[in-house]
Amino acid sequence: MSRGAGDRGLGGGSSALAEEAFRLLVDSVEDYAIFLLDPRGRVASWNAGAARIKGYRAEEIIGEHLSRFYAAEDVARGKPDIGLERARADGRFEDTGWRVRKDGSLFWAHVVLTAVHEAGGKLIGFAKVTRDLTEQRLADEALRLSEARLAATLTSIGDGVISTDAEGRVVWMNPVAERLTGWITAEAIGRPIAEVFRIIHEETRAPVESPVSRVLRDGVVVGLANHTALIARDGTERAVADSGAPIRIDGGPVQGVVLVFRDVTEERLADEALRQSEERLRLLIASVDDYAIFMLDPTGRVITWNPGAQRIKGYQAEEIVGQSFSRFYPEEDVAVGRPKQVLAAAAEHGRTEEEAWRVRKDGTRFWAHVVVNAVHDARGQLRGFAKVTRDLTQRRQAEENERALIREQAARAAAEGAERRLRESEERYRESSEQLSIILQNVDEGIVVHGKDGRLVYANDAAARTWGFSTGPDLVTARREDIRPRFEITDEDGTPVPPEEMPPRAVLRGETPGPRLLRIRNRTTGGQWWALVAASGVRTVDGEPYLAVSIWHDLTNQRQAEERARYLAEATAVVTSSLDYETTLRRIADLAVPELADWCGVDLMQPDGTLAQLAVAHVDPAKVELARELNRRYPPDPASPTGAPNVVRTGKPEIYADIPEELLVAGARDDEHLRFIRVLGLRSAMCVPLVAGGKPVGAISFVSAESQRRYGASDLELAVEIGRRAGLAIDNARLYRDAQQAIRARDEFISIASHELRTPCTTIQLRLQSLQRSLERQPQQAVASGRVAHDVKVALDQMARFTRLIDQLLDVSSLAADRFKLEPAANDLGAIVSEVAARYAPAMTEAGCELSYQAPLRPVTGNWDRLRLEQVVTNLISNAIKYGPRKPIELRIEQSDGTARLTVRDQGIGISEHDQARVFEPFERAVSVRHYGGFGLGLWITRKIVEAHGGAIRVQSRPGEGSTFVVELPSDRDEEHAA
């Protein structure tokens, strides 16, 4: 475990023991993956939790990069590195998202990444704590959905529902329960159930044990009890049927009870009334003989018979009771199953009515008007059918019109009834929703409920806020035409979503739409948000949806983060796609439009300090031309206190969330300029520096106009990041250019080196081949020994030259690799210079150079590497000869204050001021390389040797007037020497 994390857990200066304890603790944690990353994001430690959650063993994963834990598309978007960068910058980075296990499966992870620093502040890595939230996430989603459904269902059903805790105390009740008990939820909560739900035996008047206590005691579902009366808070008595069921989680102990009950008073009264009227009815029916009135059992067998039936159909009661009513139908109707259809239709709709041919006992047919009513008992159980048949054979035509009229009226009445019921249901819903809304107000998700006609009947505050209202009721009462035009609702891909495609509408049409991702843009402010909308329906008993409940889950933050990450990833890809940074910057400008801006411009600082517009992008090419024209006519003033010039000067970004008229007027040079700017319709703007090599070199401007988008802090953050990455393009291009130059210099050097190495080889080869030729021509005779001796000497001289070149190459390689070692000893500079000068005397004579030499009488001594100093003197003298033939050369040695100074002066071609800075660099030479022998490394090697001795070398020169090289070396002091 890292020292950094250990310190944090156990206190500063913790002992090794504490550190060990901490390590054991981490290793044993299984619920959290806790591990360390090195500064580059590679896994450095691993614990049991990490092994369990991610599936890797320590030895498999240590040393791997953390992008292993990310899905390929996240890696492509640079997410792993973004996390590291954020942790590096902010100290901590927290994220929730999908991660990948070793087996490729995904899990929903909560990740905290903490930068770990040494005591000195140096970053030594990151501590990463990951928790697998997959199950929790799935469970949370399921729970939220089922709770919403349950609440909607329980508040809309016709039964009273009370739930209690394990002590039998009320925790929740629905509006029906409130009405029946006379208690409101707020007052009932926490009271014993027996107080709120007081029940007695209807006849004995003795208190009855509440189903709740029986459920709590026995842990089973308790069914309906008969003859139970509920005494409401105000003393009202109602006959109720009740039942209770235990609430358990996964078969565990009983956590509470759900009590469901309903008012059966009306059912009782209905039963009683029926009993009393049945007898009267029987007598009445028995006396009717204009109508056949009889009962069928549920299967269609005749149960009762009246005189009218007897008269119309011709059967006696004893003949027909117990027989199927299908015998009243003509054969062809029976063949197609008509009798059964009639009963089924009556059972379904409660009633059927038709006029059709019927058959009498004697086989003759008559035109009958038949009404079949389904008969249900108080419990709603189908008991049979009442059938009323009338012989219309003679009055058929006369009654036709009347019946049509009646039917029409009936239909209208039915429709009105249905509508009334629906209104009542909605009314009831509105009441109950007040209760529910208290709960729903505390939910982050926007929740709205639409009625059958599509009108909004409920909205919580969270929903209202997203549409620009402060409370749910404000939104509910607002006129739709005042809201809808202000917003543009589109799909993920920007396709507009019309109102009829919205999930609640689909639900109300009876469809079951899946959740839908929507983008909502405020046309006025330009602000936009994302929501995942899931809608489900509350249905009537016959399955007809009459309410649509929609949950709007705000995904704006995730979407924006994703969009930014995607945009950044694209920008990064663009940055690395080309080494021509001008192309890259143009593409970055193009990329910004229209996602981030309506306009994007890139300005680059020119060598003269002015800004040049490199790129400008706009979706509309005509506008691009306009912007270019503007820039041509009114180039930015480098001294401007705002905008790109200021951003480049200060390196600080600027943001104008709004661009007020005053700002436009202040920024305009003249009326023409102001008119120009106004045409652009600027709304909001940002300008960020383009930083390369640590310095601002330009600016990128993002401007919003047509889209009405208003920039905020997060937009600026993104823009700054783009500026930073775009700067990388410039850095990359420069590095590439430098690398190309280095490669060219290297190639050039190789070419020079091969040229130089071949030169001595040419002489050696010519000499040796010439000797060989002589031997071949006169095999019998000795070749003149003088000639042989001369040729061998020349060849050996060239071999020595060749060897010197090789040594120089080796020096280069050791200098470049910093493997350069001195072997210092006490040496006399005068002795070294004299020796080298003597060695070069013949060359100087040949070149026509006259040497003058000045040195103090006393030796000038120091602790120097003799061979290396010989090399320095050799290089300087041979350069003087090479570049100053036929001209005098001066050598001077001086000593003062512990410094020995060697001056070598020639009167040759000289070096321009510009080239003086380069001559001490490798592969640089003031004159065209190829015209003078050597590698062009001599002065560089000379400088390296002098500097390795703690000394310095400099040159004074003017073209055509010769050069003076001065070498200064630390030496023994004069007085030391004198002493």
Partner 1 sequence: VKLRRAVLVVEDDRPIRDSMVQVLQDEGYAVLVAIDGSEALGLLRDTPELPGLILLDLMMPTMDGFQFRAEQLADPRLSSIPVVVLSADVNVFARAETLHVQGVLKKPLSLDALLGCVEQHCG
Token pair belonging to 496: 């507009």
Q: Is 933 in the site for partner 1 (CB under 8 A)?
A: yes
The whole-angstrom separation of Cα 53 and Cα 30 is 8
The whole-angstrom separation of Cα 114 and Cα 217 is 53
Which of 394, 524, 650, 769: binder of partner 1 (CB under 8 A)?
Answer: 769
CB of 763 to partner 1, least distance (A): 4
Token pair belonging to 436: 């529910």
Token pair belonging to 536: 């489900």
CB of 886 to partner 1, least distance (A): 12
> Looking at 525-533, 625-633, 651-659, 790-798, which segment touches partner 1 (CB under 8 A)?
790-798
> Looking at 284-292, 459-467, 626-634, 765-773, which segment touches partner 1 (CB under 8 A)?
765-773
The number of angstroms, rounded, from the C-alpha of 384 to the middle of its chain's C-alpha atoms is: 65
Q: Is 773 in the site for partner 1 (CB under 8 A)?
A: yes
Q: How many residues lie near partner 1 (CB under 8 A)? A: 26
Q: Which long-range contacts (CB under 8 A, 24 or more apart) does 6-12 make?
A: none
CB of 770 to partner 1, least distance (A): 5
Token pair belonging to 534: 């899931």
How far CA 866 is from CA of 832, 872, 874, 937, in Å, comes to 7, 10, 12, 20
How far CA 802 is from CA of 428, 707, 755, in Å, comes to 109, 74, 12
Identity of the residue, 906 or 968, whose beta carbon is nearer to partner 1 in the bound complex: 906
> Looking at 179-187, 439-447, 657-665, 929-937, which segment touches partner 1 (CB under 8 A)?
929-937
Identity of the residue, 171 or 745, whose beta carbon is nearer to partner 1 in the bound complex: 745
Token pair belonging to 938: 């001599």
Amino acid present at 29: V
Q: Is 409 in the site for partner 1 (CB under 8 A)?
A: no
Identity of the residue, 296 or 929, whose beta carbon is nearer to partner 1 in the bound complex: 929
Token pair belonging to 648: 């480049």
The number of angstroms, rounded, from the C-alpha of 971 to the middle of its chain's C-alpha atoms is: 67
CB of 798 to partner 1, least distance (A): 6
Which of 276, 470, 642, 765: binder of partner 1 (CB under 8 A)?
Answer: 765
Q: 577: phi > 0 → left, psi -120 to 50 → alpha, else beta; which?
A: alpha
Q: Is 779 in the site for partner 1 (CB under 8 A)?
A: no
Identity of the residue, 390 or 801, whose beta carbon is nearer to partner 1 in the bound complex: 801
CB of 919 to partner 1, least distance (A): 17
Identity of the residue, 288 or 766, whose beta carbon is nearer to partner 1 in the bound complex: 766
E strand residue ranges, 674-819? 684-692, 695-704
Core vs surface per residue 590-602: b (16+ CB within 10 A) or e: ebbbeebbbbbbb
> Looking at 223-231, 310-318, 467-475, 764-772, which segment touches partner 1 (CB under 8 A)?
764-772
The whole-angstrom separation of Cα 39 and Cα 36 is 10
Residue the block writes with tokens 């027989």: 323
Identity of the residue, 125 or 936, whose beta carbon is nearer to partner 1 in the bound complex: 936
Q: Is 931 in the site for partner 1 (CB under 8 A)?
A: yes
CB of 973 to partner 1, least distance (A): 44
CB of 756 to partner 1, least distance (A): 8
CB of 943 to partner 1, least distance (A): 24
Token pair belonging to 450: 């639409």
Q: Residue 855 contacts by C-beta under 8 Å, 6 or more apart in sequence?
A: 830, 833, 892, 893
**Residues 844-863, mask of contacts with partner 1 (x by CB under 8 A):** --x-----------------
Identity of the residue, 136 or 754, whose beta carbon is nearer to partner 1 in the bound complex: 754
> Looking at 43-51, 171-179, 244-252, 791-799, which segment touches partner 1 (CB under 8 A)?
791-799
Peptide bond into 594 cis (omega under 30): yes
Sheet holding 963-970, edge to edge: 851-854, 889-896, 899-905, 963-970, 952-957
**Residues 812-851, mask of contacts with partner 1 (x by CB under 8 A):** ----------------------------------x-----
Identity of the residue, 551 or 909, whose beta carbon is nearer to partner 1 in the bound complex: 909
Which of 556, 763, 899, 903: binder of partner 1 (CB under 8 A)?
Answer: 763
CB of 920 to partner 1, least distance (A): 22
Asked if residues 447 and 538 have their Cβ atoms less than 8 Å apart, the reply is no
CB of 800 to partner 1, least distance (A): 11
Which of 255, 341, 470, 770: binder of partner 1 (CB under 8 A)?
Answer: 770
Q: Is the dihedral of CA 185, 186, 192, 196 positive or negative?
A: negative
Angle at alpha carbon of residue 376, lines to 371 and 380, rounded to 5°:
140
Which of 395, 737, 930, 977: binder of partner 1 (CB under 8 A)?
Answer: 930
Q: Is 675 in the site for partner 1 (CB under 8 A)?
A: no
Closest CA to 642 of 634, 630, 654, 628: 654
> Looking at 292-300, 457-465, 529-537, 770-778, which segment touches partner 1 (CB under 8 A)?
770-778
Asked if residues 862 and 829 have their Cβ atoms less than 8 Å apart, the reply is yes
Asked if residues 262 and 241 have their Cβ atoms less than 8 Å apart, the reply is yes
Q: Is 764 in the site for partner 1 (CB under 8 A)?
A: yes
Identity of the residue, 125 or 884, whose beta carbon is nearer to partner 1 in the bound complex: 884
CB of 915 to partner 1, least distance (A): 16
CB of 764 to partner 1, least distance (A): 7
Alpha carbons within 13 angstroms on the beta-carbon side of residue 738 total 6
Q: Residue 223 contacts by C-beta under 8 Å, 6 or more apart in sequence?
A: 243
Which of 794, 799, 809, 831: binder of partner 1 (CB under 8 A)?
Answer: 794
Core vs surface per residue 657-678: b (16+ CB within 10 A) or e: eebeeeeeeebbeeeeeeebbe
How far CA 470 is from CA of 168, 431, 451, 480, 484, in Å, comes to 39, 21, 22, 16, 17
CB of 933 to partner 1, least distance (A): 7
Q: Is 637 in the site for partner 1 (CB under 8 A)?
A: no
Q: Is 767 in the site for partner 1 (CB under 8 A)?
A: yes
CB of 765 to partner 1, least distance (A): 4
Closest CA to 100 of 146, 53, 60, 59: 53
Token pair belonging to 422: 């629906």
Question: What is the length of the chain?
Answer: 979
Angle at alpha carbon of residue 129, lines to 127 and 133, rounded to 5°:
165
Q: Which of residues 722-761 bind partner 1 (CB under 8 A)?
A: 751, 754-756, 758-761
| Element of type H or E holding 198 | strand 198-201
CB of 873 to partner 1, least distance (A): 22
The number of angstroms, rounded, from the C-alpha of 883 to the middle of its chain's C-alpha atoms is: 67
- State the DSSP code for 394: T
CB of 748 to partner 1, least distance (A): 12
Q: Is 373 in the site for partner 1 (CB under 8 A)?
A: no
Q: Is 36 in the site for partner 1 (CB under 8 A)?
A: no
Q: Is 766 in the site for partner 1 (CB under 8 A)?
A: yes
Q: Is 785 in the site for partner 1 (CB under 8 A)?
A: no
Cα end-to-end distance, the chain, whole Å: 62
CB of 955 to partner 1, least distance (A): 20
Identity of the residue, 766 or 837, whose beta carbon is nearer to partner 1 in the bound complex: 766
Which of 146, 393, 394, 762: binder of partner 1 (CB under 8 A)?
Answer: 762
| Site residues (vs partner 1, CB under 8 A) | 751, 754-756, 758-767, 769-770, 773-774, 794, 797-798, 846, 930-933
